[in-house]
Chains A and B, each alone.
Chain A
Amino acid sequence: MKAGHKFLFGASIIVVSVVLLITQGVRETGVYFLTPSELADKTSADPSFYDVGLKMGAKVVPGSVRRDPGNRQIDFEVSDGVRTYPVTYRGLVPDTFTDANDIEVIVEGRLGRDGVFRATEVLAKCGSRYEAATEGKQA
């Protein structure tokens, strides 16, 4: 085998592995990013969609935020104007999660069969930027 061919062989192994890593990575770590109404559509079309890890982007319903700082728990409702879901989160919320009226959040977690969204991560946007909340992040 000529060196050029050997190199092409090695190169194709690299290219194939990178492509495999990417496709597998997307399949196994990718999560849906849905609005509340899209989530409602999904669960009514496919009841097994409960307890699936996903992200939901919506606005916090003003006045719905109940904080229990001692237990580091926060409950609130999110809505896109069509559907509203109660969210419960145990952990520390970012500074951008204020009591202002126009907070947009991205919550990551699972919708339980009881209709409550249990978040494992909360990102909040206020003004012009998002801020990452919590644990589970790597370096």
Chain B
Amino acid sequence: MTLLGEFCLWLALLLSAWAAVLGFSGRWQDRPDLTASVRGAVVATFGALAVAALSLWKGLASHDFNIEYVAAYTSRNLPDGYIISALWAGQKGSLLFWAVVLSLFGALAQLLTPRRYGALMPYVAAVTSAVVAFFVCTMVFAANPFERMAFTPADGRGLNPQLQNPGMMIHPPMLYLGYISITIPFAFAIAALLSRSLDTGWIHAIRKWTLVSWLFLSIGITLGMWWAYVELGWGGYWAWDPVENASLLPWLTMTAFLHSVMIQEKRGMLKRWNLGLIVGTFLLSIFGTFITRSGVIASVHSFTQSNVGYFFLAFLVVCGILSFTLLYTRWSSLKAEVQLESVVSREAAFLFNNLLFVGVAFSVLWGTLFPILSELVRGTKITVGPPFFNRVNVPIGLLLLALTGIGPLIAWRKASTANLKRQFTGPVAAGVLTAVGLLAAGVRGLYPVMALSLAGFVAGTIVQEFYRGVRARRRMHGESTPVAFGRLVARNRRRYGGYLVHAGVLIYFVAFSGMAFKREIEATLKPGDSATLTSPFGHTYTFTHVGVSQFEALNRVVSAATVQVAKDGKPQGLMTSEKRQHVDSFRRPTFEPSTEVGIRSNLQEDVYITYAGSVGGTEEAVYRLTINPLVWWVWFGGFVLAFGGLVTMWPGGGAVIPGARRTAVRPSLAEAGALTE
């Protein structure tokens, strides 16, 4: 099977190189025969890579440990589900996964894009194929997943225990899908620049693609937080680790882009900025891959160090130079069609939003690269950590949260005092009430109180929008409230889906501020001993150590420590945290020991226990006991955000007719939106 797989890799390399070269030159010379061949090659590339991926899966499933990749990431006693996810668990396999998905997206872009964008498509094919060719090239010359070894081990090393988690089966592919799909909007942007069709056409053509990649990135990042929370065992979900940052960077610029394209659609402004953002997002996605794979920056997620990093660095530099040169040559044809009329307008709110998003992205990039930069410039390595990122990004984040409420309600072009009064009286009152309520309840701390009050304000804007929309439909169409609500969302998907996304964001902010009130102790307990911890919500938890038990499971030896938990004196049952030593099928240890934490979650707070080991082999156990407030809301916020994203991109409904640009000031946005049928 490896022979077939390897053959398919080479075939895919030839096909994608063919499509890349002919896509550019065929379109350049206006030769329909060549561009037709390019379409075929794009689809065929996907076919070849799909066969390659299937043959690697075959190797994994049949435990062919002569293949180095199979021996490195699976073992005979690995549960079946992880055989599937082993395809993207390691460096080489994930490159193959990347290439096959990108070629699929490339083919889908060719097949699904409406005919009216036909002039762009050969260039789009050329760009996506060039990127596919790069990935296949990297595999063939530096990280071949089909490489065989001189001997065949009796069993493989197995999958890293921290990757043996159901969340880990979907977190990486989600994130990869997000990263990969960014290539399609990037390809359209380059195609628009090359063919000089610089109106809003390319933006309409990629609307779905940008939403798809934004959605996958959002889900991937949230799942990553969940994985860190349940598997890494330090009691939090975001540590500003370089790889976490690398996934956040393209998300930030993509989010900025999703907002700024609205200004280009409606007002014909920001053409250069939008192109710059999409090119930047693509480069950041490659940069993220480079960070993850090169080992230049120490991180939890690092793959083994290898020269694959140099391939990505070179690719990053080449793509950056080519794209920005191209953008520069088209600079003068990208003038804005109108000028900003007032700083009290939606355009201005969006512009500030964009600046802030890019500001966050820049500071995160700067902090992530600072160890390298300081060593280059001053000869000494200086690192910055979570205190830096929080210090810089919490204030910017709060401004962004405020704009989340302001942006959608303020009028286009120029907001009148009447407009401001009508839109903001209720929400501002909601924000003020939240602040007063929090202070009265004894909540202290500038940032948490600000975050929660702003969340109250934003929630006010969202509720007001839904309320007004529903009320308008009830009056106009005599519908009942649930029907009016359903139709309101269904007929204005883009707008109300957007509000749902904003609701998800504000839930995130509420959840994040909860972590400011985290409580934690470490305790060494003999059986029968207890430790107590008071939560920020005023509950007193008592943890009584029951004992430590040892047992063997499928692929591991487990030492499990159990505590009896009582909340305000009432027994809550047992909680267990485990130390695991994974073993292969000959009971030989593989990997270092890992910890499985115990988590009990409710709407207020999570009880999170970590067993850190026993004292001298006795049943006296060392624990870290943590109360994490509002964590459940992170996952719920992620769900709302993803659901809102799905609503905005659901086919039909709020689709924008290409070319039709609405520049008129809508007298009242709520009604106007509710009435468009």
Contacts and interface: CB of A to CB of B under 8 A. Distances in A.
User: Do the two chains belong together in a single complex?
Assistant: yes
Interface of A: 3-4, 6-7, 10-11, 14-15, 18, 21-22, 24-26, 28-34, 38, 55, 69-72, 91-92, 95-96, 98, 100, 106, 123, 125-135, 137-139
Contacts of B343: 3, 6-7, 10
B616 A69 contact: yes
B234 A11 contact: no
A58 B498 CA distance: 49
Contacts of A70: 524, 615-616, 620, 622
Contacts of B340: 3-4, 7
B239 A92 contact: no
Given A3-B343, A11-B351, A18 B300 contact: no
B239 A129 contact: no
A138 B392 contact: no
A-B pairs, top 10 by smallest CB distance, nearest first, are A139-B515, A33-B381, A18-B359, A29-B387, A92-B612, A29-B388, A128-B304, A6-B343, A21-B392, A25-B388
Contact of A15 (B304, B359, B382, B515): B359
B610 to A, nearest CB: 7
Given A21-B391, A25-B384, A138 B524 contact: no
A15 B305 CA distance: 36
23 contacts: A3-B339, A3-B340, A4-B339, A14-B352, A21-B395, A21-B396, A22-B366, A22-B367, A25-B384, A25-B392, A29-B385, A29-B391, A32-B381, A34-B380, A55-B383, A92-B522, A95-B579, A128-B302, A128-B305, A131-B300, A138-B390, A138-B515, A139-B515
Given A95-B595, A134-B234, A139 B512 contact: yes
Contact of B302 (A3, A6, A95, A130): A130
Contact of A72 (B342, B388, B522): B522
Interface stretch (B210-218, B247-255, B586-594): B586-594
A132 B178 CA distance: 26
Nearest to A100: B592
A71 B620 CA distance: 12
A85 B396 CA distance: 41
B299 interface: yes
B301 A129 contact: yes
A18 B396 contact: yes
Nearest to B386: A138
B234 A132 contact: yes
Given A26-B382, A131-B300, A96 B391 contact: no
Contacts of B374: 30
A7 B447 CA distance: 27
Contacts of A29: 384-385, 387-388, 391
B575 to A, nearest CB: 17
Nearest to B621: A69
B433 interface: no
A70 to B, nearest CB: 5
Given A95-B595, A138-B236, A33 B363 contact: no
B359 A129 contact: no
A69 B561 CA distance: 15
A106 B305 CA distance: 18
Nearest to B581: A95
Contacts of A138: 236, 238-239, 386, 390, 515-516
A133 B234 contact: yes
A69 B391 contact: no
B358 to A, nearest CB: 9
A106 to B, nearest CB: 7
Given A69-B616, A137-B386, 10 more contacts: A18-B362, A22-B366, A72-B612, A100-B592, A125-B298, A126-B592, A131-B232, A132-B300, A139-B237, A139-B515
Given A69-B614, A98-B592, A132 B241 contact: yes
A53 to B, nearest CB: 11
Contacts, number: 166
A71 B524 contact: yes
Contacts of B620: 70
Contacts of B615: 69-70
Given A7-B343, A72-B524, A92 B610 contact: yes
A57 to B, nearest CB: 8
Contacts of B650: none
A55 to B, nearest CB: 6
Given A3-B339, A30-B384, A34-B381, A69 B234 contact: no
Nearest to A12: B355
A65 B367 CA distance: 33
B356 A22 contact: no
B348 interface: yes
A126 B301 CA distance: 13
Contact of B591 (A11, A33, A127): A127
B528 to A, nearest CB: 16
Interface string B297-319: 01111111100000000000000
B412 to A, nearest CB: 13
Interface string B590-604: 011111000000000
Nearest to A104: B298
B613 interface: yes
Contacts of B628: 139
B135 to A, nearest CB: 21
Contacts of A131: 232, 300
Interface in B277-323: 298-305
B593 A91 contact: no
Contacts of B622: 69-70, 72, 92
Contacts of B239: 132, 137-138
B547 interface: no
B455 to A, nearest CB: 16
Interface in B592-650: 592-595, 610, 612-616, 620, 622, 624, 628
B388 A26 contact: yes
Contacts of B147: none
Interface in B325-363: 339-343, 345, 348, 351-352, 355-356, 359, 362-363
Given A21-B392, A129-B302, A26 B370 contact: yes
B515 A33 contact: no
A111 B605 CA distance: 38
Interface in B509-563: 512, 514-516, 518, 520, 522, 524
A70 B387 CA distance: 30
Interface in B389-406: 390-392, 395-396
A84 to B, nearest CB: 20
Nearest to B298: A130
A98 B591 CA distance: 11
B235 interface: yes
Contact of B383 (A30, A69, A96): A30
- Which of B342, B352, B363, B392 counts the most chain A CB atoms within 10 A? B392
Nearest to B301: A129
A18 B390 CA distance: 13
Contacts of B167: none
Contact of B592 (A10, A11, A95, A134): A95
B371 interface: yes
Nearest to A124: B592
A30 B515 contact: no
Contacts of A32: 380-382
Given A14-B356, A31-B383, A96 B592 contact: yes
